[in-house]
Structures are given as structure tokens and as C-alpha cells.
């Protein structure tokens, strides 16, 4: 599917609004004609937008986000590279923050997919007018896959939880997911092709290493604003991570809560085994802009190291070499 130029669809409130929106449309159309493009994973092409490979829908969303989204200092963002465990972290963050509102025997997450717990900002900004999100209680929670450098500077006062994951597991998870959602009129997408593109940095929101570094570097300077997490550490020590999350979000667990097992209950509620077996996550569907995704697609295996079932030794050597080189000097490392 090739991209289409955007023209205003909605009657706009005033001449000033109309001019502003028309300018954004013009900028978008100009970008689409000038940006380098490469093969896409789900859609035909990704475009290199300020150093990152982005689906055209989200380039437009990014322009609208910059123009209209008004962050509040109390907002908390869950930022992640795709397929790093966003679904899991959404469930953990939501159930930690709302722990006084739901009982663990009849919880919101028993009836709703984790992706529905708070808005995915990138999709929310897909079309004009975007919501002002003023109906949301404070602190408002949002998820995004945009790298830090593609987000407005005005978000600097907000808190970010950043989640990343071992890149070979990300690659495999992303290839399986995108192959399923791939537009039907496109040819099949082989793992070899996905692998080569990933190594060149070309996958939605890539290069992987630039994305991770865009949050890693500022997290070193302001750990009170950016909590940098790895999927593997959440897997190994979920209770420790949930307690860190609560403290970071300004709602630390009390001794009484810890003694009553609230942390363990949250971890159990959000475990892969529990969530993936719920009816809502076997049969339910979530809408992201115009794209519908079955909840079960967000739960595949949920393990560390599944790349071993897909990548050869040679592929491992190549991708590890690239990641080592790109992250050199950053002190950021991923386990094998
Ligand atoms: P997204 O980028 O489309 O939002 P995201 O949720 O970040 O996807 O990643 C999905 C991965 O998290 C899947 O990994 P896999 O393909 O290697 O299996 C999915 O299985 C895994 N996942 C989802 N929920 C959980 C969970 N509760 N615990 C551990 N892993 C999980």
C-alpha cells in the first residue's frame, strides 16, 4: 500500500486552526516526497524520518503529536522498542498504580487486554483532531514506541519508564508479529530479509541501537526521570522491578502492603501464564488507529533466548558484532 497525501477531512474550528493544520499536511506531504525509504515489515515502505525508520502513519502522528499534544508534568510514559515486553509492562504499571481500585479476585485485567489499560500515543495521534486527554486522571499514563529524540522537548519534565530487550529476541518476536499483520497485497516476508534489514537498522522505529541509546544516555543523567529496564531483569526479578516501578511512579508500597503480598499478587496477575490463558486475551481484539490486532498476538512465548530456534550461528555472530560496535563506549550491554 503506497502512502497517500493527507488533506484535511474534518471541518476545523477557526481559520487559524485550519491554517495550522494545513501547514502540517503540507509538511507531511513534502516529507513523503523527500525522505529516503526502504522496505517495510508490515507496510510496503518505511521512511527515514530524522534518523529513524518510521511507518508513514506514525510520521504524520509524530507531526500531530508535536503540534497538539500537551504533556502535563505528572504524565508517565512507557516507552519501548517494539516487541520488548510493552504488553507486560503495561499490565504491571497499570495494576501497580491502580492497586487500591481493584481486587485481585476480580480485576480489570481479567476482562480487558493489557493493551487497553492506557493509550498508545502513536496511534492516538494518527488523525486530526487528537484527543486532549483531559478526561484522564492524574498521573496520566501513555505508551509510545517513539525514540526520545522524536518526542517534544516539553516532555522533559515527565517521567519515562523505558523497556528494552535482547535484540535477537526482539528481532524474532518482531518478525513473527509483523509477518502476521503484514498487508495482504505484499509478498511474503522471509526471516532472512527481516534479519538483513534489522542489521541495517531498518525496522519500525529502528535502528534498534539508536532507539535504546536515545533513552539510555539521558537515563544516566536523570534517573529520577527515566527508569531504564530490561525485559530480562523483569523476568528474573519481577517483584524487585515492581517495587522499583512503584517508587519511581511516586506510589511506593507500604510495609503492610508488602507483608500482605500485594507485590506478589501483581506479579502473578501479570504473568505470561495468567494473562495468556484469560478468555479476553485468547479471543479479544484491540484497535490501534485503523489496525485491529487480536490480543493473543501479544502473547507468543514470553521467554528469554527463543532466537536460538530461529537464527544460525553465523547470524548470531553478525548481529552481536553490530550491536557491540553500535553500543561501544555506552556501558549498555545485553546478555546472550
Ligand atoms: P508490542 O511492541 O507490539 O506492544 P510487546 O508487548 O512489546 O509488543 O512484545 C511482545 C512480547 O512480549 C512477546 O514476546 P515473544 O514474541 O518473544 O513471545 C510476548 O510473548 C511477550 N510478553 C507478553 N506478555 C508477557 C508477559 N506477561 N510476560 C512475559 N512476556 C510477555
Ligand 1 centroid vs 54 CA: distance in angstroms?
21
**In this predicted structure, what is the pLDDT of residue 106?**
95
Asked whether residue 41 carries a pLDDT value surpassing 80, the answer given is yes
Other CB atoms closer than 10 Å to residue 331's CB: what's the count? 8
Q: Domain 65-326 sits in which CATH superfamily?
A: P-loop containing nucleotide triphosphate hydrolases (3.40.50.300)
User: Using CA positions, which residue lies closest to atom 1 of ligand 1?
Assistant: 83
pLDDT band at 2 (very low <50, low <70, confident <90, very high): very low
- pTM value surpassing 0.85: yes
Ligand 1 centroid vs 83 CA: distance in angstroms?
6
**In this predicted structure, what is the pLDDT of residue 15?**
84
Q: In what order do the strands lie in the sheet with 159-164?
A: 141-144, 76-80, 159-164, 226-230
Asked whether residue 7 carries a pLDDT value surpassing 60, the answer given is no
Instruction: Express as a percent the part of the chain with pLDDT over 90.
Output: 93
Ligand 1 centroid vs 295 CA: distance in angstroms?
11
What mean pLDDT is predicted for residues 29-56?
98
Asked whether residue 311 carries a pLDDT value surpassing 80, the answer given is yes
Residue 91, all three cell numbers: 499490565
Tell me which of 299, 301, 305 to substitute to probe ligand 1's pocket, judged by most ligand atoms within 8 Å of the beta carbon: 299
Cell 518505511 identifies what position? 46
Q: How high does pLDDT run on average in the chain?
A: 95
Pocket of ligand 1 (CB under 6 A): 80, 82-88, 169, 173, 270-272, 275, 298-302, 306
The ligand 1 atom at the shortest distance from the C-alpha of residue 173 is 16
145 is catalytic: yes
The string of pLDDT tens digits covering residues 100-122 is 999 999 999 999 999 999 999 99
Which run of H or of E encompasses 286?
strand 285-288
**In this predicted structure, what is the pLDDT of residue 29?**
96
Which run of H or of E encompasses 79?
strand 76-80
The string of pLDDT tens digits covering residues 85-104 is 999 999 999 999 999 999 99
**In this predicted structure, what is the pLDDT of residue 336?**
53
The ligand 1 atom at the shortest distance from the C-alpha of residue 274 is 27
Catalytic residue among 30, 112, 135, 145: 145
What mean pLDDT is predicted for residues 184-213?
98
137, 74 in Cβ contact below 8 A?
no
Ligand 1 centroid vs 8 CA: distance in angstroms?
36
**In this predicted structure, what is the pLDDT of residue 11?**
53
Amino acid at each position: 500500500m503506497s502512502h497517500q497525501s493527507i488533506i484535511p477531512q474534518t471541518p476545523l474550528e477557526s481559520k487559524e486552526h485550519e491554517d495550522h493544520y494545513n501547514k502540517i499536511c503540507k509538511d507531511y506531504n513534502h516529507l513523503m516526497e523527500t525522505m529516503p525509504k526502504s522496505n517495510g515489515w508490515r507496510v510496503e515502505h518505511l521512511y527515514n524520518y530524522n534518523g529513524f525508520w518510521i511507518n508513514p502513519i506514525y510520521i504524520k502522528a509524530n507531526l500531530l503529536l508535536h503540534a497538539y499534544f500537551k504533556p502535563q508534568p505528572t504524565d508517565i510514559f512507557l516507552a519501548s522498542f517494539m516487541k520488548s515486553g510493552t504488553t507486560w509492562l503495561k499490565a504491571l504499571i497499570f495494576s501497580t498504580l491502580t492497586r487500591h481500585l481493584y481486587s485481585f479476585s476480580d480485576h480489570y485485567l481479567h476482562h480487558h487486554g493489557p493493551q487497553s489499560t492506557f493509550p498508545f500515543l502513536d496511534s492516538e495521534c494518527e488523525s486530526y483532531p487528537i484527543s486532549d486527554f483531559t478526561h484522564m486522571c492524574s498521573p496520566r499514563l501513555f505508551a509510545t514506541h517513539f525514540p526520545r529524540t522524536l518526542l517534544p522537548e516539553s516532555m522533559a519534565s515527565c517521567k519515562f519508564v523505558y523497556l528494552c530487550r535482547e535484540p535477537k529476541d526482539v528481532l524474532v518476536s518482531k518478525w513473527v508479529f509483523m509477518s502476521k499483520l503484514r498487508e495482504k497485497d505484499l509478498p511474503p516476508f522471509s526471516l532472512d530479509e527481516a534479519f538483513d534489514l534489522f542489521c541495517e537498522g531498518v525496522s519500525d522505529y529502528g535502528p534498534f541501537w539508536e532507539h535504546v541509546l536515545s533513552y539510555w544516555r539521558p537515563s544516566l543523567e536523570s534517573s529520577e526521570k527515566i527508569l531504564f529496564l530490561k525485559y530480562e531483569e523483569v523476568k528474573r526479578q519481577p517483584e524487585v522491578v515492581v517495587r522499583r516501578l512503584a517508587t519511581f511512579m511516586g506510589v511506593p508500597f507500604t510495609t503492610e502492603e508488602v507483608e500482605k503480598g500485594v507485590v506478589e499478587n501483581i506479579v502473578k496477575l501479570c504473568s505470561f501464564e495468567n494473562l495468556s490463558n484469560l478468555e479476553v486475551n485468547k479471543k479479544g481484539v484491540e484497535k490501534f488507529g485503523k489496525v485491529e490486532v487480536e490480543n493473543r498476538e501479544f502473547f507468543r512465548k514470553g521467554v528469554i533466548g527463543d532466537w536460538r530456534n530461529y537464527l544460525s550461528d553465523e547470524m548470531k555472530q553478525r548481529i552481536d558484532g553490530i550491536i557491540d560496535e553500535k553500543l561501544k563506549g555506552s556501558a549498555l550491554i545485553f546478555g546472550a
